[in-house]
Amino acid sequence: MNRSYRIDCLQYANWSEKIFHEMHEGGVDAVHVTIAYHENFRETVLNIEQWNRWFERFPALIFKGRTGDDVRLARNTNRTAIFFGFQNASPIEDDIGLVEIVHALGARFMQLSYNNQSLLATGCYEAEDPGITRMGRQVIKEMNRVGLVIDMSHSAERSTMEAIELSDRPIAITHANPASWHPALRNKPDDVLRALGQSGGMLGLSVYPHHLKDKSDCTLESFCEMAARTVDLMGPGCVGIGSDLCQDHPDSVVEWMRVGRWTKEIDYGEGSQSNAGFPNMPSWFNDSRDFGNIENGLRAAGLDDKEVSGIMGENWLNFYDRSFAPQGKEVECGRDTAAE
């Protein structure tokens, strides 16, 4: 099998057999799926239960991923490994002991905050960012210890810089783009991305239209040129894809993503009153079958084979190998067979 690994390090879909087939058709070996935006611990467990049912029903298409080796297993068996992650710290509530529990249940990424202030860090929509909190410093140590990756995609700048500094292990921004390409609260300044790359961290490039130059009209060329410049900025081993594909959801879901339970008023987040729903995806990326478009676009933008395969999946695979095992039991080349 000659093709590159393909890893999408962020999707949040209205999951269905159809979508699992699309992952298969797109040759996607692994997907980091969001299983919590605002859910507390018990609600997150319910979402895991739902995934357990899908794993039980569709074993020829998907299985639960825990280690980098599960990505290799997925490729060797023509399936997709599903890695769990949280876009908020809500699943651990106010309880540091839940960090180890959610890792045991399969969680591999957790954002320290989602747009708003959390108990751990500041979100990108708060007016000010005082950095990582007292509890946040404790939780970062615990996430490092058990192998739960810190994700700062929706966090504010100072909190992100402090997370990079405080964390003993590389962190991730699973889905965002450089703000220098498209200014948006969710996109990241060059100095943050540079620090992320220097620390061995990863950026997943997002295809969500609010993160794209010209939004839904963004061209594949523009996206892939941005990818090439980001490789120059961060280093070739630090860039992957985190499409932020939000597929087949009604618009009520994006409203819930923005509002959760924290306000009785509408908050439009990245949208606006006149553009409140999910934005239209760009023509060249509608679902998991379109990864070939990105791969071709990266080649057309002048990236070499190694750079392209790095972005398409090898870089995330390398990061998974280094990140998901308990501290002190990291593996460098995918020999991680840590049982849970």
Q: Which is nearer to a copy of itself, 39 or 225 (CB)?
A: 39
Which of 127, 94, 82, 237 has the alpha carbon at shortest distance from 172?
A: 237
Task: Examine residue 67 and tell whether it contacts a copy of itself (CB under 8 A).
Answer: no
Q: What are phi and psi of 205, to 5 degrees?
A: -75, 135
Q: Does the protein bind a copy of itself through residue 147 (CB under 8 A)?
A: no
Bridge partners of 203?
173, 239
Whether the Cβ atoms of residue 91 and residue 98 lie closer than 8 Å to each other? yes
Taking the least distance from each CB to a copy of itself, the nearer of 236 and 260 is: 260
Question: Whole-number minimum distance, CB 50 to a copy of itself, in Å?
Answer: 21
Rounded least distance, CB 156 to a copy of itself, Å: 10
Q: What is d(CA 332, CA 335) in angstroms, rounded to the nearest whole number?
A: 8
Contact between 264 and a copy of itself per CB under 8 A: yes
DSSP annotation of 209 reads G
Q: Residue 272 forms beta bridges with which residues?
A: 275
Among 34, 111, 133, 243, binds a copy of itself (CB under 8 A): 133
Instruction: Give yes or no for residue 180 binding a copy of itself (CB under 8 A).
Output: no
Interatomic CA distance for residues 106 and 218, integer angstroms:
35
**Alpha carbons 161 and 115: distance in angstroms, whole number:** 16
8 A C-beta contact, residue 171 and residue 149? yes
3-state class (DSSP) for residue 17: helix
The answer to whether residue 271 forms part of the interface with a copy of itself (CB under 8 A) is no
Q: How far is the CB of 169 from a copy of itself (least distance, A)?
A: 18
The single residue among 265, 305, 332, 340 that binds a copy of itself, judged by CB under 8 A, is 265
Taking the least distance from each CB to a copy of itself, the nearer of 105 and 228 is 105
Residues 272-301 that bind a copy of itself (CB under 8 A): none
Q: Which of 122, 243, 247, 315 binds a copy of itself (CB under 8 A)?
A: 122
Interface residue with a copy of itself among 128, 305, 332, 340 (CB under 8 A) is 128
* Both tokens assigned to 219: 């061209």
Beta strands per DSSP E along the chain: 7-11, 30-36, 62-64, 80-86, 107-111, 149-151, 172-173, 202-205, 239-241
User: Which stretch, 174-182, 264-272, 290-298, 326-334, contacts a copy of itself (CB under 8 A)?
Assistant: 264-272
Q: Which is nearer to a copy of itself, 166 or 228 (CB)?
A: 166
User: Binding a copy of itself by CB under 8 A: which of 198, 214, 262, 277?
Assistant: 262
Contact call for residue 45 and a copy of itself (CB under 8 A): no
CB 126, min distance to a copy of itself, A: 6
Phi, psi angles (nearest 5°) of residue 172: -130, 150
For every residue of 159-191, DSSP letters joined together read: HHHHHHHH-SS--EE-S--BTTTS--TTSB-HH
Contact positions with a copy of itself (CB under 8 A) in 19-38:
38
For a copy of itself, how many residues bind (rule: CB under 8 A)?
33
Can you give the binding site for a copy of itself, defined by CB under 8 A?
A: 38, 40, 90, 93-97, 116-119, 122, 125-131, 133-136, 138, 142, 260-265, 267
